[in-house]
Each structure stands twice: as C-alpha cells, then as structure tokens.
Amino acid sequence: MFVKDETQFIQPFGVDLDLENGIMLDATHRLERRASDMLGYYQNEEALKQLIESEGDPLHYEVFECPVPEEYGHLMYCISTLQPGRIGDECYMTKGHYHTVLETSEIYLCLKGEGFMMMKTPEGEWKTEKMVKGRMVYVPAYWAHRSINTGDTPLISFCVYPGDAGHNYGDIIEDGFPARVFLRDKEIIIEEEQ
C-alpha cells in the first residue's frame, strides 16, 4: 500500500468561500473569541473590562475551519475574521501563537481590510508586515504571529499551514510580543514594549 502511517489517505474535496464577508460556507468548526477571551493581552486591561461590561462581551474574532487530519503531509486552512476596534487606543488583535512544531510556516492571504501581521522569534527578534486586500504574508518557520486590525472594517484572511503544526499560546501569554500597535489621532503607532 502506498499510504504511510503518519499521513491518512482522504478523498479530494472543494470548499465554497464567501470572500466578501469572510465566511467559509461549509465550515464544520467555527472558533469564536470574545472580548473576555482577551483578558491579559492588551495594555489597558481596565478599558477591556469596561468594554465587556458595557457591550455584553462582544465578538472579537472568529476562525472558520474544515476538518483535515492534523498530521504531517496534510494542509490546514481557515478564514480568520478580526473585528475592527480599539482597547483604549490599542488596535484589536488576535492572541497570537507559535506553532507547536516550531519548524512549520504559514501563508496568510489578506482578503479584506487592513492591518499588520506582528511576528517574533523565540530570541526576541520582531517584525511587522502590512496586511491589506490582495497582499500575502509569509510567516516563516520559528516565528510567532498575531494579526492586528488597524482599519475600521473587519480584517479577513485566508490561512494555510501544515496539518501537524499545532498551536502554542502559552509562551505568548507569558512573554507577549515586543511591540504593540496603537491608533492615536488617526495615526498608526507601533510602540516597542519597555
């Protein structure tokens, strides 16, 4: 048999995407992150708590996925839709993660909106790449990544990454990223952490 143990044999399939609204129509998994899931991530925790109280814990971002074996040889893919807004004056962002298998990369194709991909290595080197409709960002192996929405519409991306990559959030909760993105007087400011 030509099939190897570490990679299941599955049938080919197609998926319909609503590129305008950032929805994967046949998605079987929809992961939702609300404002309360972001406690501990923003500089101004008080502003986040106020938002949760005054607006009833609004949606922050969502990820649509289809089930593909999470193993070597397969490709995971998803649509990630990050709402626009500010916590204090810090732009809405995703939690951010390393891949559990550090030596795995990812492609983000921005379908709508604008913002940045913030990336960092375990050694503290960091980099931002502009995300805007039609631009693709290559997140290389070893780089943790977080999307940040600097616009006033949802930031929608299509992502593809190796099936066995996995997600490591713990290291980001502990160390954060070396820089944050703010919008002050309509100006985007990328500020390094002290």
Question: Beta-carbon neighbour count of residue 40 at 10 Å?
Answer: 10
Which of 27, 86, 94, 180 is in the footprint of ligand S6P by CB under 6 A?
94
Asked whether position 128 contacts ligand S6P by CB under 6 A, the answer is no
Coil, strand or helix at 177: coil
Closest separation in Å from C-beta 165 to Zn ion:
6
Alpha helices in the chain (DSSP H): 45-55, 170-175
Please give the torsion angle defined by the CA atoms of residues 121, 161, 26 and 2, in that order, rounded to the nearest 10 degrees: -160
Number of H helices, E strands in the chain: 2, 15
Closest separation in Å from C-beta 118 to ligand S6P:
10
Sequence-separated (6 or more) residues with CB below 8 Å from residue 26: 15, 16, 66
Piece of 14-22, 118-126, 140-148, 177-185 that binds ligand S6P (CB under 6 A): 140-148
Q: How far apart are CA 141 and CA 101, in angstroms?
A: 9
The contact mask relative to ligand S6P for 12-51 (x = CB under 6 A, - = no) is ----------------------------------------
Q: Are 85 and 48 in contact (CB under 8 A)?
A: no
Question: Beta-carbon neighbour count of residue 78 at 10 Å?
Answer: 21
Asked whether position 62 contacts ligand S6P by CB under 6 A, the answer is no
The backbone torsions φ and ψ at residue 49, rounded to the nearest 5 degrees and listed phi first, read -65, -40
Which of 90, 106, 114, 164 is in the footprint of ligand S6P by CB under 6 A?
106
CB nearer to Zn ion: pick between 92 and 108: 108
Closest separation in Å from C-beta 137 to Zn ion:
11
Which of 60, 120, 146, 180 is in the footprint of ligand S6P by CB under 6 A?
146
Which partner in ligand S6P, Zn ion, none is near 112 (CB below 5 to 8 A by kind)?
Answer: none
Count of residues that interact with ligand S6P, criterion CB under 6 A? 15
Place of tokens 């929608």: 156
Binding stretches for ligand S6P (CB under 6 A): 63, 78, 80, 94-97, 106, 145-147, 159, 161, 165, 167
